[in-house]
Amino acid sequence: MSPVSGRNRKQKGANALKLGMYFRRHWQLYALLILPISYFLLFKYGPMYGVIIAFKDFNFFQGINGSKWIGFDAFREVFAMKDFYKTLRNTLMLNFLDLLLSFPAPLILAIMLYELKSVWFKKLSQTILYIPHFISWVIIGGIVYQVFGTQSGMINNIVTSLGFDAIPFLTDKNDWLLTYLLVGVWQSAGWGTIIYLAALTGINKELFEAAEVDGAGRLRKIWSITLPSLKPTIVTLLIINLGNMIAIGFERPYIIGNTAVREYSDVLSTFVYRIGIESGQYTLATVVGLFQAVVGLVFVLGANYASKKLADQSIL
C-alpha cells in the first residue's frame, strides 16, 4: 500500500464523512429542492429528445424514432437559404434597438412613478399604464393601423392638416422601425415597471432624509440612492435580455409588420412560422429553434460572465 494512495483513501473517507455531515445538517434545503427539480427533469428534459427532429427527415407516422436520420442535411439546407440570413439580421437589429429603447423605458417610468407625491394618482396611473399589456396583439394591430395609417391614420390626419406630407409610418421600412419600437414601448413599459416598483419598496427612507440634509436635489437623490438600489434587478434583467437577443417574439413583428416592410420585419420567428409550422416541416423548424437555443445560451453565459467581472453579479 503506497503511502500516497493510503493517504488518498483516508482523505476520501474524511471527505465522505464531511459530505455526510453536510447533507445531514442541510437536508431541509435539499428536501425543498426535490419537487422543483423533478419538475424540470420530467417536464423539461423529458420531451427534450425532440431536438433530434433537427437531424431527421421527420415523418408523422413513423414518429421520431422511425424517421430517417439525415445528420446535418437540414442545417445545410437552412443555412443555404438567403432568407435565413436576412431574418437573422433583422432579429438582432430589432432586439438591439429594443434594448436601447424598450429596456430603459420601464425603469425610467418606475422611478417617475416612485417620485409621484400623490398616492391616489400613483395607484391609478400604475393600473392604467399596464392595460396595453393585456390587449391581444390582434387587436393592437387594428389600432396601430388606425393611428399610424398613411391615408386616414389619426396622426397623419393632424400632420396633413398642418400642411405637411403624410408620414408613411407603416409602409416605409425605416419609419416602420420607429413605429415598431414605439408600439413595443407602449405595450410593455407599464407592465415592466411592476418588478422595479417591487424592488423600490425595499429602499430605506432614511437614506433620502440623510441626502436631503446633505443638500442633494431630486435628480441627485435618484442617481445616488434609487438607481443603485435597483442595480441587482437591472443587471439580472439585462443578462436575461441579452441572452434573448437571438430569440424574438412572434406576435409583434407579425402583427405590426406588413408586406411593404418585410425587408425589416421578417424575423426568425416569422421565418420559422412560414417554412416550418405552416408547411408542417418540423425538421426545418426544429433546426432554427436549435440554432437559436445554442446561440442564446452562449449569449447568456457570456453576459453572465461579463456581469460577474464588472458588476459582481451573476445568475449562475
Partner 1 sequence: MRERHASRTFDVINAIAILFFVLICLAPFLHIIAISLSSARAIMTGEVSLIPVDLNWNAYKQVFSDMSMIRSLGFTVMLTLLFTLLCMLMTIAAAYPLAKTGLKGRKPLMFIIVITMFFSGGIIPEYMLVRNLHLLDTVWALVLPGLISPFYLIILITFFQNIPDSLEESAQIDGSSYIRTLVSIIIPLSLPVIATLSLFYAVGRWNGFTDTLMYITSPEMYPLQLKLYQLVQNNMVSELMQMEGASGQSMLQPESLKAASVIFATVPILIVYPWLQRYFVNGVMIGAVKG
Partner 2 sequence: MAINAKTKKKTSILLALTLVCTLLLSACGGKDKENGSSGNSGASGKQVTLKVEVFDRGNSPAGSTITNNYLTNYVQDNFGKPNNINVQFVPVPRSEEVKKLNVLMASGGDVPDIVFTYDSATFYRYAQQGGLTELSELIEQHAPNLKSFLGEDTLAYGQFEGQQFAIPAKRSHLGKYSSFIRQDWLDKLNLPIPQTTDELYNTLKAFKEKDPGQTGGKVIPLGMALAPAQYEPLIWSFIQPLTDEQRITLTQQLGSRDYPTLLPGFKDALQFMNKLYNEGLMSVDFSLDEDKKKLSEDVSKGLVGFFSEDDMNPFYPDGMYATLQANNPGATLTSVDVYSNSEGKHPKPEYAPIGLFIMIPKTSDRAVEAIKYLDWMASENNLFNMQNGVEGENYTLKDGVPVMKADATEEAKNRIYNWGDMAIISNGKQLGDADKNVEAYVLGMPEQYQDETRRALTVSRNDTFKPVKFDRPIEAQNKYGTGLLDKFHEIVVQTTMAKPDKFESTFESMMKDYMANGGQAILDERTKVYESMK
**Contact residues for partner 2, defined by CB under 8 A:** 59-63, 81-83, 142, 145, 149-152, 170-171, 258-260, 262, 274-275, 277-281
Q: Which residues have a Cβ under 8 Å from the Cβ of 264 and sit 6 or more positions away? A: 90, 93, 94, 173, 176, 177, 257
The gap between the terminal CA atoms of the chain, to the nearest Å, is 42
Per CB under 8 A, does 141 bind partner 1? no
Cell numbers 422543483 correspond to 36
Nearest in space to 153 (alpha carbons), one of 134, 166, 136: 166
81 binds, among partner 2, partner 1, none (CB under 5 to 8 A by kind): partner 2
Cell, residue 9: 483513501
- Closest C-alpha to 183, from 245, 139, 151, 233: 139
> Strand 56-57 vs strand 68-69: parallel, antiparallel, or unpaired?
antiparallel
Q: Does 81 bind partner 1 (CB under 8 A)?
A: no
Q: Is 2 left (phi over 0), alpha (psi -120 to 50) or beta?
A: beta
Query: Which one of 76-84, 92-100, 231-239, 253-261 is the stretch in contact with partner 1 (CB under 8 A)?
Result: 231-239
Q: Where are the beta strands (DSSP E) in the chain?
A: 56-57, 68-69
Min dist CB 128 to partner 2, Å, is: 27
Q: How far is the CB of 2 from partner 1 (least distance, A)?
A: 30
**CA–CA distances in Å: residue 179 to residues 98, 131, 278:** 12, 19, 27
- The least distance separating partner 2 from the CB of residue 168, rounded to whole angstroms, comes to 9
Among 129, 167, 242, 272, binds partner 1 (CB under 8 A): 129
How many residues line the site for partner 1 (CB under 8 A)?
88
Q: Is 104 in the site for partner 1 (CB under 8 A)?
A: no
Q: Which is nearer to partner 2, 196 or 254 (CB)?
A: 254
Q: Is 316 in the site for partner 1 (CB under 8 A)?
A: yes
Q: Which one, 47 or 215, has the nearer CB to partner 2?
A: 47
**Nearer Cβ to partner 1 (127/224):** 127
Which one of partner 2, partner 1, none is in contact with 83 (Cβ closer than 5 to 8 A by kind)?
partner 2
Total residues belonging to the chain:
316
**241 binds, options partner 1, partner 2, none, Cβ within 5 to 8 A by partner type:** none
Give, in degrees to the nearest 5, the angle at Cα 208 between 202 and 214.
155
Residue 6 interacting entry, from partner 1, partner 2, none, C-beta within 5 to 8 Å by type: none
Q: Which helix (H) or strand (E) holds 269?
A: helix 268-272
Q: Which of 26, 66, 96, 157 binds partner 1 (CB under 8 A)?
A: 26
Q: Binders of partner 1 among 165-224, rule CB under 8 A? A: 186, 189-190, 194-195, 197-199, 201-206, 215, 217-219
The answer to whether the Cα torsion of 94, 289, 250, 316 is positive or negative is: negative
Specify the residue, 14 or 124, whose C-beta has the smaller distance to partner 1: 124
